[in-house]
Amino acid sequence: MLVQKNIEIRTERYSNGQPYYREFRVEGKRHRDPKDGPAYESFYESGQLCFREFRVEDKLHRDPKDGPAYESFYKSGQLCSREFRVEYTLHRDPKDGPAHESFYESGQLYCREFLVEGERHRDPKVGPAYERFYESGELHYREFWVEGKLLTDAEVATATTHPSCDGAVVEFQGRKYRLVEE
């Protein structure tokens, strides 16, 4: 155990000398400025990273623009999952990408979720808030959510259709014109 500037750094090792975990604590809580690196890392006996957590005062937290607050890995080193969290809550601006993603060990995407302040949310015109895929990459199913509410098929159809102006009459400088959509 090493203590620097009120930061306690704990490390344990497997019998083969490889690290088992490394954590940073302040006043008994896992804590580290996310810009300095993760507050907790766990390793497989081979030394390969198992998962890492960015924590502030014991809460999973990292500015989503800086990267995920949590990542886990298969023994092969392939990414298993990643989560973007702000003060423990799954959160990421949907324009920047999903707040949660999971992957097959092959690296193929298994599922992705768009969440804002812990609730599934994405503009249906842009795409679904939740998708799950087969390992082949083919879409298994998807769900459209807005502010934590699952949309019905009819609500999705209404939200994703673009109204036509074909046949509408507009007036410009005292004259009426009928619009024709091309």
Return the pLDDT at 163.
67
Mean pLDDT value across residues 134-147? 97
| Count of Cβ atoms closer than 10 Å to residue 86 Cβ | 19
Cα–Cα distance measured from residue 62 to residue 70, given in angstroms and rounded to the nearest whole number: 9
Same domain flag for 84 and 1: yes
Report the domain count for the chain: 2
The better pLDDT of the pair 152, 168 is held by 152
**Is residue 44 included in any domain, yes or no?**
yes
Instruction: List pLDDT tens digits, range 98-107.
Output: 999 999 999 9
| 118 and 84 share one domain | no
Q: Among candidates 121, 124, 143, which has minimal Cα distance to 132?
A: 143
Does residue 169 lie in a domain region? yes
Q: What is the mean pLDDT of residues 123-152?
A: 96
For 85, the token pair is 């969290």
Residues 77 and 120 in one domain: no
In a domain, 100, yes or no: no
Classify residue 125: in a domain, yes or no: yes
Residue pLDDT, tens place only, 145-165: 999 999 999 999 888 876 667
In terms of phi and psi (left: phi > 0; alpha: psi -120 to 50; beta: otherwise), the region of 73 is beta
Select from 29, 57, 90 the last residue of a domain.
90
Q: Which domain holds residue 144?
A: 113-182
At 170 the pLDDT is 85
Which of 56, 90, 124 terminates a domain? The answer is 90
Q: Are strands 70-73 and 59-60 parallel, antiparallel or unpaired?
A: unpaired
pLDDT tens sequence across 47-67: 999 999 999 999 999 999 999
Q: Let me know if 172 is exposed, middle or buried by CB neighbors in 10 A (0-12, 13-18, 19+).
A: exposed
Q: How many helices (H) and strands (E) does the chain have?
A: 1, 22
- Identify whether residues 84 and 156 lie together within a single domain: no
80 and 24 housed in the same domain: yes
Q: Render pLDDT for 22-36 as a digit per residue (tens, 0 to 9).
A: 999 999 999 999 999
Query: Are 84 and 153 found together in one domain?
Result: no
**Which segments of the chain does DSSP mark as H helices, in order?**
153-160
Same domain, 19 and 65: yes
Same structural domain for residues 5 and 72?
Answer: yes
